[in-house]
Structure 1
Amino acid sequence: MEASIDAVWAVLADGWSYAGWVVGATHIRDVDTGWPKCGTRIHHSVGPWPLVIQDTTEVVRCEPSRLLELDARLWPVGAARILFTLQAQGMELTYVRMAERVVRGPSAFLPKFVQDALLIPRNKETLQRLSALAQGRQ
């Protein structure tokens, strides 16, 4: 991403920005105090109105400016574990890796190649949105 690691982390660390870069998230209802400390949650809505599902995403692991691991729930579909790793490539360039896998619920039974076919295009768009927000914070 053409943004500093601090700018990218600032977006990840701002729970209220979640709906601005996560594809599918439509509304943030609340963000726990202390986000993104382990155990804190974003309370969000997903999907088009009137088919909105209300659920949460919880921080599993956090190493500021380096790593953020989330447990994103979307019941009754399931839940996914999402890992963001950040590595500075220069003053204004950050390598961001996003890995996602479904870990619970009916979607967890889909073969990996099917999950990848569904998640990879969505995650590419998510990273593009994250990049745009991070660039705007510089």
Structure 2
Amino acid sequence: MIEVCRTIRTPPERIFAVLADGWSYASWVVGAAHIRAVDDGWPAVGTRVRHRVRPWPLQIEDQTVVREMEPDRLLELDAHAGPLGIARVRLTLEPVSATVTRVRMGWRAAAGVARFVPEAVLSLMLRPRNSETLHRVEDIAIHRQLPAP
């Protein structure tokens, strides 16, 4: 599994609020270009975000499905990417203090051609991408106005 980690100066519930907003998926997932639909109840297990990946006009219409979820703590996804296959993505939120959270993002090829690429090669491509993904999550979690409860 390829893993990146980022310590974010905000509580886990703010970070999870970003992950729990399916319409924000393309804002923080590097490579997601457009959200077409979000299932009611996202991010409950089995719900989906339907999206496009890749730059226009070479976009692929695909989806991401929730495999496991624990509010404010864990979100595991199967991110489909057309012929490239399916990536298993696990986002774990670990409170460091009341106002600081360590976010770990694990990625592994679950199906498709990426399973046959050596992990060292995938790591060279995916660590920077996944680090940027966590940077985007941080920006949104810290700077966006959350809806009133």
When the two structures are superposed, what TM-score results if normalisation uses the length of structure 1?
0.97
Give the structure 1 partner of residue 81 of structure 2.
Answer: 74
Q: Is the 8 A contact 1:101 1:115 kept in 2?
A: no
Give the structure 2 partner of residue 18 of structure 1.
Answer: 25
Give the structure 1 partner of residue 50 of structure 2.
Answer: 43
Can you list the C-alpha shifts for 1:79-103, whole angstroms capped at 9, x where unaligned?
1000000011122211000000111
* Deviation beyond 2 Å, 4+ runs, structure 1: none
Instruction: Name which of 89, 94, 113 aligns with 2:96.
Output: 89
Q: Cα offset for 1:114? A: 1.1
Tell me, in whole angstroms, the C-alpha distance in 2 between the residues paired with 1:95 and 1:130: 12
Can you list the C-alpha shifts for 1:74-133, whole angstroms capped at 9, x where unaligned?
011111000000011122211000000111111111111111111111000000000000
1:122 equivalent in alignment to 2:129:
yes
Q: Cα offset for 1:28? A: 0.3
1:99 equivalent in alignment to 2:109:
no
What is the one-letter code of the residue matched to 1:94? Answer: T
Instruction: Name which of 53, 66, 77 aligns with 1:59.
Output: 66
Tell me, in whole angstroms, the C-alpha distance in 1 between the residues paired with 2:84 and 2:106: 19
Tell me, in whole angstroms, the C-alpha distance in 2 between the residues paired with 1:88 and 1:137: 20
- Show structure 1 runs of 5+ residues with no match: none
Instruction: Name which of 5, 11, 35 aligns with 1:4.
Output: 11
% same residue? 51
Tell me, in whole angstroms, the C-alpha distance in 1 between the residues paired with 2:122 and 2:54: 19
Q: Cα RMSD over matched residues?
A: 0.9
What is the one-letter code of the residue matched to 1:14? Answer: D
When the two structures are superposed, what TM-score results if normalisation uses the length of structure 2?
0.90
